[in-house]
Amino acid sequence: MITSIGNPRKITKAVIPAAGKGTRLLPLTKAVPKELIPLGRRPVLEYIVDEAIESGITEILFVISEEKTAIRSHFGGSLDCVRFNYVFQTEQKGLADAVYCARDWVGDDPFAVVLGDSIISTDQSVLPFKRVLDAYETTQASGVILVQKTPRDEVSRFGIVKPKNAIAPVFEIDALVEKPMPADAPSEYAIAGRYAFSPKIFEHINRTPIGANGEYQITDSIGCMLADGAQVWCVALGENEVRRDIGTFESYFEAFRLMMNQ
Ligand code: UTP
């Protein structure tokens, strides 16, 4: 890719995992992929694709399944400034496995992962996802994760990061804990659905054991990366920036309200 000449840490490729079963939104997701249900006037994935394009992404790989080819019908092959590609995840074995399906397409380039069921609204001029890509470019991190401050009594729903030093808009971590009890949580910062990775993540995914819910968890793969001595950094969402996933009806309704007027 011409874009990586000159700066090997510049990211122009994004993987959007969208092959999950969406069981928590049944019966809505029986025939319609979760990632295509409406948020206000547009399907979820259109907001996510816009966010990627605005952040400088020019190549997108959707990870889909045989049941979710409607995503390919919706986006086709390209828009003016971005090309769309598709790969099938044959068995839904978790997010880390979905990302692993992208390894041939990614090759030796650094790349981003944008969850297909998670949207972010911001009041800042630089999008949070772009700040993740910028942090990858300007640090020596092998992984950069977007995080969101979460009330302590809700930390047990998320992967929580352990900061190495003080919290700042961009900070380094030395561990991650999946769904900790509030008293054991190493911080109140939860993983928020946007990542940048060195292609070395595939080696770590390959070594990741099956985790929570009997699935391969990307949080565990990032843990392997840290255990290997690699740097992992976080970008924190600001006070007026909101991330919503559409995983449950409750969060879907909140996301719908958030995007209703956009
Ligand atoms: P989730 O775990 O929230 O989605 O994954 P899910 O598995 O579809 O949800 P439920 O539990 O059945 O309701 C977050 C994102 O990762 C994708 C999903 O499509 C979603 O966009 N994903 C998840 C995959 O692509 N493959 C998987 O094996 C798991």
Q: Is 89 in the pocket of ligand 1 (CB under 6 A)?
A: yes
Expressed in angstroms and rounded, the spacing between residue 249 Cα and the centre of ligand 1 is: 15
Domain ranges for the chain, please list them: 13-260
- Angle at which helix 128-138 crosses helix 44-54, to 10 degrees, equals 40
Q: Which string of DSSP letters, residue by residue, matches the chain?
A: -GGGSS-TT---EEEEE-----GGGTTTTTTS-GGGSEETTEEHHHHHHHHHHHTT--EEEEEE-GGGTHHHHHH-SEETTEEEEEEE-SS---HHHHHHTTHHHHTTS-EEEE-TTEEEE-SSSS-HHHHHHHHHHHS--SEEEEEEE--GGGGGGSEEEEESS---SEEEEEEEEES--GGG-S-SEEEEEEEEE-TTHHHHHHTPPP-GGGS--HHHHHHHHHHTT--EEEEEPPTT-EEEE-SSHHHHHHHHHHHTT-
Instruction: Give the other-Cβ count within 10 Å of 36's Cβ.
Output: 20
Q: Is 19 in the pocket of ligand 1 (CB under 6 A)?
A: yes
Please name the residue whose Cα sits nearest to atom 3 of ligand 1: 247
What pLDDT, on the 0 to 100 scale, is given for residue 5? Answer: 62
Q: Is 246 in the pocket of ligand 1 (CB under 6 A)?
A: no
What pLDDT, on the 0 to 100 scale, is given for residue 62? Answer: 98
Task: State the residue for tokens 């049941």.
Answer: 67
Expressed in angstroms and rounded, the spacing between residue 190 Cα and the centre of ligand 1 is: 17
Domain 13-260: CATH class, spelled out: alpha beta
Task: State the residue for tokens 């029986």.
Answer: 30
Single-letter amino acid, residue 171: F
Q: Which atom of ligand 1 is nearest to the CA of 216?
A: 28
Give the bridge partners for 236, in sequence order: 147
What pLDDT, on the 0 to 100 scale, is given for residue 216? Answer: 95
Please name the residue whose Cα sits nearest to atom 9 of ligand 1: 22
What pLDDT, on the 0 to 100 scale, is given for residue 65? Answer: 98
Q: Which atom of ligand 1 is nearest to the CA of 118?
A: 21
Averages of pLDDT over each 10 residues, the chain, 262 residues:
72 98 96 96 96 98 98 95 97 97 98 96 96 97 97 93 95 93 95 97 97 92 96 97 93 91 72
Please name the residue whose Cα sits nearest to atom 7 of ligand 1: 20
What pLDDT, on the 0 to 100 scale, is given for residue 24? Answer: 96
pTM above 0.75, yes or no: yes
Instruction: Give the other-Cβ count within 10 Å of 67's Cβ.
Output: 14
Expressed in angstroms and rounded, the spacing between residue 104 Cα and the centre of ligand 1 is: 21
Expressed in angstroms and rounded, the spacing between residue 6 Cα and the centre of ligand 1 is: 36
Round to whole Å and give the CA distance between 149 and 11. 26
H or E segment to which residue 178 belongs: strand 170-178
Q: Which atom of ligand 1 is nearest to the CA of 64?
A: 25
To test ligand 1's pocket by mutation, which of 16, 21, 88 has the most ligand atoms within 8 angstroms of CB?
21
